[in-house]
Amino acid sequence: MPPAARSESGLPIAPVYDESSRNGFDPEAKLGEPGKYPFTRGVYPTMYTGKPWTMRQYAGFGTAKESNERYHQLVKAGTGGLSVAFDLPTQMGHDSDEPIAHGEVGKVGVAIDSLDDMRTLFQGLPLDKVSTSMTINAPASTLLLLYQLVAEDEGIAGHQLTGTIQNDVLKEYIARGTYIYPPKASLRLISDIFAYCRNEIPRWNTISISGYHMAEAGATPVQEIAFTLANAKEYVRTAIAAGLDVDDFAPRLSFFFVARTTLLEEVAKFRAARRIWARVMREEFGAKNPKSQMLRFHTQTAGVQLTAQQPEVNLVRVALQGLGAVLGGTQSLHTNSYDEAIALPTQKAARLALRTQQVIAYETDVTKTVDPFAGSYVIEAMTDDLEAAAVELIQAVEDRGGAVAAIEQGFQKSEIERSAYRTALEIDRGERTVVGLNRFALDEEEPYEPLRVDPQIEVDQCERLAALRKERDNDAVARALDQLRAAASGSDNVLLPMREALRLRATGGEVSHALRDVWGTYVPRDSF
């Protein structure tokens, strides 16, 4: 009998599982029926037997015009949802013509400075029919309002819009770094978004609470779901403290996880996360609406596991990761392009990534039954182990005063850094195999021509901003920004004056700077 192995989370994996592995397993309490509490088997009764998950491809680069062309290509290829990548200046609340933005305009996503850019980005796309996800956090309110204003220009009302803003700032302090304001101000802004969307854009998912970026920074599966759900609890408490009823906003909460190549543990991870969240919402927060208890999530395959060496091997990795997400019951999925470890994906690579999902959906039989792994000895045992370890780690966050207090103490960040360091050592020592990198390598790599962003984009974007500032009513913009500062200083919902400022063609940077004037900016603990 071979020795017991260890999972990505460091939990034991037995060589054989059988009835004794169930350890007092109670099918009614642990599994239930698909679409019913505790949602272990999926959030919907029919899952993919009725229709497949939303195939949502993440794209955005250069100018709004270039990205618009890519979106039209993806829609034509059969994608069911768009997912927008923004460049770093946009993510950090800076305009393209600010000195701090130099060299970064259009590089890792599309540059969006104003309502004019947003109109170009979505020109000709049916916003009342397509679901749009925007990977934006600190300035999420700004981009959401720009999207709403573009839709209104097309005669599309807010109640017709569907999509998601990531809007998960707490994980930025832990793992990613694109924060602007201090945590308490960020939570205030998030609760204002919840309240605004309840009235104005009721079908919109107001937050996508993300474990993905923590996983990319080195978090184990246990850390990924524990820290994500701890953050989610903080958001729920904030909204309730702001006067919102839990069942008014909780049905629009969504989550975002990674899918690694360790397929069995990933399936168990998704099942454990659903079960924990259902119990938290019902028992801790008193949510009565079953939709408030559902953990609905988007999945992206693991960018951190892609290799620049032998990049075609990434096609195999992505297929396995995508399959794990589907077997785990994801609601939408982005499959990475095989060349993303080198540069922005080419059009061919992006199409192949979408085709990977389509093969899983239409050529395999995994969509013909609701829950393919239900009752599996190994999956149920691993789910129990992951659940117990994640609950223990969530409690460790709670013992430190909750997610914000733990962030300020550096707890989550240090735990993830330790895991990342351990993984790096294992790869360096050859204890963890990465095909093409530390085993089965080639003596010489084949040449590859990556997609590159033209530096002229920054020049053109700055010229457009200069023209906008000449054409608009600058006095009206200044008055609107003053009203935004006044709302931020008090208790009024900041999205209402923000929408008016953006309608008058205030830029995203100007809006963020107005809030900086009142709330300040966050300085991380290790920078003091």
Burial of residue 137 (CB within 10 Å: 0-12, 13-18, 19+) is buried
Question: Average of pLDDT values for 115-127?
Answer: 96
Backbone angles phi, psi at 418, to 5 degrees: -65, -40
Question: Average of pLDDT values for 407-436?
Answer: 95
Check pLDDT > 50 for residue 107: yes
Boundaries of every domain in the chain: 5-14+128-337+376-429, 475-520
Bridge partner residues of 259 (DSSP)? 301
Residue in 84, 492, 76, 42 with CA at minimum distance from that of residue 294: 42
End-to-end CA distance of the chain: 53
Of 73-77, 85-89, 354-358, the range with the lowest mean pLDDT is 73-77
Question: Average of pLDDT values for 44-48?
Answer: 97
How far is residue 33's CA from residue 366's CA, in Å, rounded to a whole number? 18
pLDDT of residue 32: 85
The percent of residues above 70 in pLDDT, for the chain, comes to 97
Strand order in the sheet with 207-210: 204-205, 163-165, 131-135, 81-85, 54-59, 332-334, 297-301, 253-259, 207-210
Tens digit of each residue's pLDDT (9 = 90 or more) over 472-510: 999 999 999 999 999 999 999 999 999 999 999 999 999
Q: Which residues have a Cβ under 8 Å from the Cβ of 364 and sit 6 or more positions away?
A: 323
More confident residue, 211 or 29: 211
| Helix, strand, coil share of the chain (percent; to 5) | 55, 10, 40
What is the helix (H) or strand (E) element at residue 503, kind and residue range?
Answer: helix 495-503
pLDDT of residue 29: 64
How far is residue 424's CA from residue 438's CA, in Å, rounded to a whole number? 12
Amino acid residing at 189: L
Check pLDDT > 60 for residue 134: yes
How far is residue 399's CA from residue 397's CA, in Å, rounded to a whole number? 5
CA atoms within 13 A on the CB side of 272: 28
Residue in 298, 224, 198, 221 with CA at minimum distance from that of residue 267: 221
Kindly indicate the confidence band of residue 128, based on its pLDDT and cuts at 50, 70 and 90. Answer: very high
pLDDT of residue 4: 67
How far is residue 144's CA from residue 137's CA, in Å, rounded to a whole number? 11
Q: Which residue has the tokens 């925007």?
A: 134
Kindly indicate the confidence band of residue 57, based on its pLDDT and cuts at 50, 70 and 90. Answer: confident
The distance from CA 431 to its chain's CA centroid, rounded to whole angstroms, is: 31
Q: CB of 21 within 8 A of CB of 10?
A: no
Q: CB of 65 within 8 A of CB of 85?
A: no
Tens digit of each residue's pLDDT (9 = 90 or more) over 179-233: 999 999 999 999 999 999 999 999 999 999 999 999 999 999 999 999 999 999 9
Kindly indicate the confidence band of residue 26, based on its pLDDT and cuts at 50, 70 and 90. Answer: low
Q: What is the DSSP letter of 259?
A: E
- Residue 278: CB atoms within 10 A of its CB come to 23
pLDDT of residue 446: 80
Q: CB of 156 within 8 A of CB of 127?
A: yes
Check pLDDT > 60 for residue 3: no
| Cα distances (Å, whole numbers) of residue 125 to 21, 71, 73, 82, 404 | 52, 8, 11, 10, 39
Check pLDDT > 60 for residue 357: yes
How far is residue 308's CA from residue 343's CA, in Å, rounded to a whole number? 9
Task: Look up the pTM and report it.
Answer: 0.91
Burial of residue 293 (CB within 10 Å: 0-12, 13-18, 19+) is buried
The CATH architecture of the domain made up of 5-14+128-337+376-429 is: Alpha-Beta Barrel (3.20)
pLDDT of residue 526: 60
Question: Average of pLDDT values for 8-23?
Answer: 86
Q: For all residues of the chain together, what is the average pLDDT?
A: 93
How far is residue 207's CA from residue 185's CA, in Å, rounded to a whole number? 16
Tens digit of each residue's pLDDT (9 = 90 or more) over 151-170: 999 999 999 999 999 999 99
pLDDT of residue 453: 77
How far is residue 255's CA from residue 225's CA, in Å, rounded to a whole number? 10
Q: CB of 183 within 8 A of CB of 382?
A: no
